[in-house]
Structure 1
Amino acid sequence: MTDALCVENIESLLKLSETLEAVGGVLLNGNFPEQNFCFTSVQTDSRLIAEKSLFVPLIGEFQDGHSYIPQALEKGASAVFISKKTSKNLLEALKKEAADNKNVAFILVENTMQALQKAAAAYVRKFPRLIRCAVTGSSGKTTTKEITASILRQKFSVIATKGNFNSETGLPLSVFNIRSEHELGLFEMGMNRVNEIGEIAEVFKPNYAIITNIGTAHIGILGSRQNIANEKKKIFTYIDSFGAAFIPEKDDFASFLEKGVKGKVVKYGVDCDESVKLIADEGLSGTVFSVDGLEMRLSLPGKYNFLNALGAIALAKTLGCTAEQIKTGIESLKPLGGRSTIKKGKFTVLEDCYNANPDSMEKALDLCADTKIQGKKIYVLGDMLELGEESEKEHARIGEKALFSDADMIVFFGFEMNFAFEKAIEIAERKSSLADEKISSVRLVYIGNKDEAAVNDAAKEISEFAESGDLIMLKGSRGMGLERILPLIGMGGES
């Protein structure tokens, strides 16, 4: 039996020799039998450990994951990375634990986060024939990834990111789900800091990649849209002459993004591909269009989601998908929880509260403004987080935008939304003096917290104002939890 096999004859994701070489690691239990080495999953959260997991404890700002190693071992971890940077006392205790342990491999590394990424990169290299595709952008990443996956599954065996597991830890953990039967990997890449895209692109080395847009998400961290573009562009680093970069034609950074790409550059947009024709924008009901003359409907509402679909279609066509396969993928797309989800009951609700930044907030407001309904329009806008020094300016801008978006009532929810509320009040009072009835009659409500009492207050305000047939839009960052309002207004289960 070789070190590639567990004692139960289950193949390990990486051999012991492969793991040590990839991470530059050293076994703390030097007498560990190589034939005992095996891990079939990887986790950074000890609560998710299963039998034969590799546990990678991370050192954060407030806690050290190494303190959870005992729990991981109790749950069946078969291998553990240990950072040289953990506390001296904890390191000594772990060395004693490892000394005579012949069931668990304790591997000492410089940095557990980097070791996770290096091990993941080594694992990806085991699948040289895998078609490697990736998606990034300031907004629409997960939606684009889901549309793309739905289409590509009609032609390939696809492994894709679950949810938005797209970070410096999420991407490496995701690629460990690749198996020999997969023909194509599709992974989402996000960022919260400088060079995060660069690091995770190095793990997966995508040969095809879509950028959805260059917006203002995380501008508080990166400082400018140019800096954001610099970072997002790193997803194209490993594209070779056989690969392709997919860039939204109308984005004002499109020319910058295509510079230096070694593979094919494919621009996508409404007027980019003569074989794709827009038939009807049906607002909340989605978009009807054709590919090579074959009509199909995208159920996700809004022009921005149609643009996301165009990026997915451009990649699919490059990889040889037919119009029939594209139609099946587009029309079998399942609802995306919390993202552009339409719920119908007493009210029509646009639930778009998984994420928010100024760009996506504007798009959601434009969609609602363009939607024709018999009833009233009520917008519940939650804080847009991670805007840093730009927060006051951007929230104020959204307050003005919302006021001119055909609303009858706007509920500003959260501390940062006070800037939006104040701007809206200022403009509404000015318009009142000019006898602008539509603007001055908009009901403006501010709720400056996000606890349960605040949720109850918001629901009460809505319930007292709304009538059957009204449109209610919920839009805010995930941390605001706006979806908590839905069951309180009788819209918990409908869709």
Structure 2
Amino acid sequence: MVNTEQLYHKFLECTGVSTDTRRITTGCLFVALKGGNFDGNQFAQEALTAGARYALVDDPAVAAQQPDGCLLVADALTALQDLARHHRQTLTIPVVGLTGSNGKTTTKELIAGVLSKRYITYATQGNFNNHIGVPLTVLSITDQYEMAVVEMGANHQREIALLCSICQPTHGLITNIGKAHLEGFGGIEGVRIGKGELYDYLASTGGTVFVNANDPVLTAMHQERSGFGQTVFYLEHNQPELVQESPVAVYRTDTGQTITTHLPGRYNFENMAAALAIGQHFGVSPAEAHHAVADYNPTNNRSQVVQKGSNTVLLDAYNANPSSMAAAIRQFAATPAKRKVVIVGDMYELGDESPAEHEALGQLIADAKFDLVILAGKDMKYALGALPKAYYFPDKFSLHNWLMDNPMTDTHVLIKGSRGMSLESVVPFI
């Protein structure tokens, strides 16, 4: 078996790392991970044939078949994580780590956009933010980069602590604490503890933390800990100042300049403020930072504005939980429009809280008095009690057919649901 030091020397011979035989590049290291329905060891030969330089495996029988190409370890996932830790220790650049219940990816993209104005910056690609994605992210940070932004997701306690031990952030940010992954975290207090593991890490290492001064939960969590090297509060004294929330956020700088963005809502404005604070901390000029924020236009189903004929669609279908759903509903309710329709899908990973949370969402939507409400998914039936006139579809096939039979015009449409609902599929039918 190879140890981490030996594996690292082999890694340096490679062009990158892949865990998917469909994405093999010539000279890469293939890592044979196991899942509920697959065993990557069985694809090692395929990866080598496709051009991988080495295959990291934890099956001795597979390693014996390819002694020159296979690197045998006790556990491929653990070896991948240890390899990433080892690589991280060779890097001397600042690493900004962020987590939170909502807005992580948007905030990551905003931060990366701002920092890229001055530094060669690497940021988490896509949603590579878990116990596999974070090691892959770290291993992608080469000597050419001057800064890194690493997104960390979690659905249970101790996961952020693990990810921090791998990416070892020097700076950090929690976007917010909300009702996300309640089933895995064991309730909202579990979310607070789990996300707070980033603060724990930064406090223990003397790192720098960025805190939203207007968020009482985050400020309280910060006060509970000591040992930070530096704390940077943002949105103190209402700077920058939000002057418009919809259809897109518009804010005023401390010099009086008005910046129009492509993102709606106060919740996205807070993400922008975080990116601006981090940019200022690292010496990005205010003009370039504001330019980066104004230019960011999402194309990843997150707060994405799509024009469909005379209809304006706010596509926010990448994820949903009670906190993000409530923020989106309230924001959409405040948006001026001739006719407003909401299409909302199930919120996943709520466990025993799911019926009550969907019922509460139904009441929130009812209070907003939209022109039309469409519910999709098995748990959205709990929202019907407060929405007797809503259209309810347990499956998306029926929803697609209904939308084709009932075309909309001159309408603003909010589409939001958990990733598993894939509600972006309804856009072609609007």
Specify the TM-score bucket, using the shorter chain as the normaliser.
over 0.9
1:340/1:35 Cα in 2 relative to 1: closer, same or farther (>3 Å)?
A: closer
1:118/1:273 Cα in 2 relative to 1: closer, same or farther (>3 Å)?
A: farther
Tell me which residue corresponds to 1:445.
391
Deviates more, 1:337-346 or 1:245-254: 245-254
Provide the aligned length of Structure 1 versus Structure 2: 426
Structure 1 residue 69: Cα displacement: 1.2
What is the alpha-carbon distance in structure 2 between the residues aligned to residue 288 and residue 195 of structure 1? 37
- Do structure 1's residue 478 and structure 2's residue 422 form an aligned pair? no
Alignment deviations for residues 442-486 of structure 1 (CA, whole Å, 9 cap, x no partner):
x41000113xx22423423652xx3x3211110111211211111
Alignment deviations for residues 48-74 of structure 1 (CA, whole Å, 9 cap, x no partner):
112111111112223222111121111
What is the alpha-carbon distance in structure 1 between the residues aligned to residue 367 and residue 11 of structure 2? 66
Structure 1 residue 418: Cα displacement: 0.8
Tell me which residue corresponds to 1:435.
none
Larger Rg: 1
> Is the partner of 2:390 in helix, strand or coil?
strand
1:36/1:206 Cα in 2 relative to 1: closer, same or farther (>3 Å)?
A: closer
- Do structure 1's residue 79 and structure 2's residue 79 form an aligned pair? no
Tell me which residue corresponds to 2:330.
366
- Do structure 1's residue 265 and structure 2's residue 231 form an aligned pair? yes
Structure 1 residue 409: Cα displacement: 0.8
| 1:447 and 1:454 in contact (8 A); partners too | yes
318, 321, 325: which one aligns with 2:288: 325
1:461/1:290 Cα in 2 relative to 1: closer, same or farther (>3 Å)?
A: farther
Structure 1 residue 257: Cα displacement: 3.9
1:207/1:273 Cα in 2 relative to 1: closer, same or farther (>3 Å)?
A: farther
1:288/1:41 Cα in 2 relative to 1: closer, same or farther (>3 Å)?
A: same
112, 115, 126: which one aligns with 2:79: 115
1:379-390 alignment, distance < 5 Å: 379-390=342-353
Tell me which residue corresponds to 1:161.
124
What is the alpha-carbon distance in structure 2 between the residues aligned to residue 477 and residue 65 of structure 1? 28
206, 211, 228: which one aligns with 1:247: 211
What is the alpha-carbon distance in structure 2 between the residues aligned to residue 204 and residue 457 of structure 1? 46
Alignment deviations for residues 218-264 of structure 1 (CA, whole Å, 9 cap, x no partner):
01111112211111122234436763112233434221244324222
35, 48, 71: which one aligns with 1:60: 35
| 1:22 and 1:119 in contact (8 A); partners too | yes
| 2:240 and 2:273 in contact (8 A); partners too | no
| 2:302 and 2:316 in contact (8 A); partners too | yes
> Is the partner of 1:410 in helix, strand or coil?
strand
For 2:411, the aligned partner's letter is D
- Do structure 1's residue 229 and structure 2's residue 192 form an aligned pair? yes
Alignment deviations for residues 104-158 of structure 1 (CA, whole Å, 9 cap, x no partner):
2x22222211111110111122222x11101110000001111111111111110
Tell me which residue corresponds to 1:11.
none
> Is the partner of 2:29 in helix, strand or coil?
strand
What is the alpha-carbon distance in structure 2 between the residues aligned to residue 175 and residue 195 of structure 1? 19
1:114-153 alignment, distance < 5 Å: 114-128=78-92, 130-153=93-116
Alignment deviations for residues 290-323 of structure 1 (CA, whole Å, 9 cap, x no partner):
1444432222111110011111112222222221
CA RMSD of aligned residues (A): 2.3
For 1:262, the aligned partner's letter is G
| 1:236 and 1:261 in contact (8 A); partners too | no
| 2:44 and 2:57 in contact (8 A); partners too | no
334, 339, 346: which one aligns with 2:310: 346
Q: Percent identity?
A: 30
What is the alpha-carbon distance in structure 2 between the residues aligned to residue 351 and residue 483 of structure 1? 7
1:397/1:71 Cα in 2 relative to 1: closer, same or farther (>3 Å)?
A: same
Unaligned runs of 5+ in 2: none
Structure 1 residue 422: Cα displacement: 3.0
1:179/1:36 Cα in 2 relative to 1: closer, same or farther (>3 Å)?
A: closer
